[in-house]
Amino acid sequence: MGVRVAGGTCWLVGDAALQVSVLSTCPTRSPAVPRDAYGVSSLVVLLGVLTLLRAATVVHLGLDPYVDEAYYWGWAQALDWGYYSKPPLLPVLIAASQAAFGDGLLALKLPALLLYPVTALVLRQLGAELFDSRVGWWAALAFITLPLVSGLGLFVSTDAPLLLLWALAMLLAWRLREGGGWPQWAILGGVIGLGLMAKYTMAAFWGCGVLWLLSMEGGLDRLRRSGPWLALGVALAVLAPNLWWNAQHGFPTLVHTAEITRMSARGWAPDELWEFLLAQLAALGPVLAVSVLMVLFSVRRHLADPRHAFLLCFSLPLLILVALQALTGRANGNWAAPAVLGLSVLAVAVLLGLQRRRVLVWAVGCNVAIATLLYSWPILVQSLGVELHAGNDPYKRARGWSALAEAVAPKLTAYPGLTLLSDDREVLAQLVYALRPERHARWQADGHVVDHYGLTVPYGGHISGAVLYLSQRHDPERVLDRFAQVTDLGEISVAVHRNFHRRLHAWRLDGFLGYPADGE
């Protein structure tokens, strides 16, 4: 039995009490709000303003690229079907952005600046098709103002395409709930495949989808149909070039992923579990987090509504999986980032269904305030007469690298033809980005590769001539001892804050003697 409410259907199941409770969370349109107030055009304007503000923040903060951004920039200069730690979609996006807009910092960050607003528009459509345009509009606004998105939006990362493709796959999956032709299932598979080419986390979407199909009436029959398996086949076909690249290189991406997600790293780690859970709440913001917790505490009631069940199926399994990972090993807070998509739509739908639009306004307003504080923190601190230092600067990891590169540059120009050599991924990424040396290499003394430089540009006898060796280490003898001639070029130090410096020591090295033998 169904009841039509404001363009959406509320399913009444179970006993009367449950019917009333489910119906109470179905959105109803406020007659005082004009219908066009929740149109796409108003949302696009808001998203455009927020995007411009984020771009202005990037410029105003005067940041250098974060280490991973400089690392990904290097990947974009040599496009391939795979990289040591990630699939290839993000470098392709960065290369396309640079081809269109040049080689500046904003062009590097443009995929993040643009893809999150596009994700919000997809969520708007998802919310509108699940409930109504009001839910879609608020869900998009809630998502784009999440503290997680406000932070990620300043830095390009694989989460940007992942969240967009997860949201798009959810929208396509919902449209296929009653079945569909093979073209629609193939398109869904293509989106999932592109998500896998962004980040392997997208593999969890298939598991979530299976749970969703099984949760529906006749779930096993739905799963036996050809459509879901066609989607899986297309997804694997899209991923196939990356799998082939991995096979050609000893499966580095899969090995790296297995290493950082190992389930038996340290046994039980409840402290890391609590840290991960607190990170999820912080990602949502205080008010919206409370709303999500209220939904989760009454999850059985929400599972009675097929729309709520759909959103939970594409959120909770990933959260639980990564929480278990945190409990038994390690897990970064953003590993469950796609869960915020379904949870944002669900929290908005519940709040509007309970006529709690004021709470939703507070939730968005609070998150906007957090973003404003995050973006203006250096200015605010200094305006209060407080010195910015290593302890109160959240952006310190993206400061000082360009100045350090300027200090290194004379060493390279003084010795033309030197190969830039380091034993540190961060040093190589930042200096290669800033200096664009003719040649660079990573000190790779053993077979255990830990980054893309070790995989693609390991230093060895095939590199002729002297090198400029740069290190942050205090005990570089293991490197210096492998060269016949060592010229100490001194320390390079750049002050970022009074109590925070970027420091490197430089040597010119000639006559490589080879890596030490085992046990030497």
Instruction: Please give the backbone phi and psi of residue 235, each rounded to the nearest 5 degrees, phi first.
Output: -60, -45
Cα 470 to the center of its chain, rounded Å: 30
Neighbours of 297 (CB within 10 A): 9
| Secondary structure of residue 348 in the 3-state scheme | helix
For residue 520, what pLDDT is reported? 57
The Cα 441–Cα 470 span in angstroms is: 11
| Secondary structure of residue 11 in the 3-state scheme | strand
pLDDT along the chain (520 residues), means of 10: 39 35 42 60 94 93 93 96 96 97 94 97 96 95 96 95 98 90 94 97 95 88 89 97 95 82 62 88 93 87 90 94 84 90 95 88 94 91 87 91 95 89 95 94 89 93 87 84 93 92 94 76
For residue 282, what pLDDT is reported? 92
The Cα 33–Cα 225 span in angstroms is: 43
* DSSP bridge pairs for 488: 507
Instruction: Please give the backbone phi and psi of residue 213, each rounded to the nearest 5 degrees, phi first.
Output: -60, -40
Burial label for 223, CB within 10 Å (0-12, 13-18, 19+), is: middle
Going from the C-alpha of 85 to that of each of 137, 197, 331, 454, the distances in angstroms are 36, 12, 16, 12
For residue 267, what pLDDT is reported? 65
The H-or-E segment that residue 305 falls in is: none
The Cα 62–Cα 255 span in angstroms is: 36
The answer to whether residues 283 and 333 touch, using CB atoms and an 8 Å cutoff, is: yes
Q: Please list, in sequence order, all residues whose beta carbon lies within 8 angstroms of the beta carbon of residue 271, skipping any fewer than 6 positions away.
A: none
- Please state the domain extents for the chain: 2-375, 400-512
For residue 462, what pLDDT is reported? 77
Q: Taking the chain, what is the end-to-end CA distance rounded to the nearest angstrom?
A: 77
The answer to whether residues 503 and 493 touch, using CB atoms and an 8 Å cutoff, is: yes
Going from the C-alpha of 180 to that of each of 8, 177, 227, the distances in angstroms are 21, 8, 8
The Cα 67–Cα 322 span in angstroms is: 24
For residue 32, what pLDDT is reported? 46
| Secondary structure of residue 194 in the 3-state scheme | helix
User: Which residue, 4, 410, 344, 431, is CA-closest to 144?
Assistant: 344
| Secondary structure of residue 485 in the 3-state scheme | strand
The Cα 510–Cα 487 span in angstroms is: 9
The overall longest dimension of the chain from CA atoms, in Å, is 86
Q: Please list, in sequence order, all residues whose beta carbon lies within 8 angstroms of the beta carbon of residue 19, skipping any fewer than 6 positions away.
A: 12, 13
The answer to whether residues 163 and 339 touch, using CB atoms and an 8 Å cutoff, is: no
For residue 324, what pLDDT is reported? 87
DSSP state of 458: B
For residue 118, what pLDDT is reported? 98
33-46: burial string, b at 16+ Cβ within 10 Å, e else? eeeeebebeebeeb
The Cα 66–Cα 515 span in angstroms is: 31
DSSP state of 489: E
In this structure, the dihedral spanned by the alpha carbons of residues 300, 232, 235 and 164, taken in order and rounded to 10 degrees, is: -20
The answer to whether residues 467 and 459 touch, using CB atoms and an 8 Å cutoff, is: yes
The position carrying tokens 């219908």 is: 35
Q: Are strands 419-422 and 440-442 parallel, antiparallel or unpaired?
A: parallel
For residue 196, what pLDDT is reported? 98
In 12-132, the DSSP E strands lie at none
The Cα 351–Cα 181 span in angstroms is: 35
The answer to whether residues 91 and 72 touch, using CB atoms and an 8 Å cutoff, is: yes
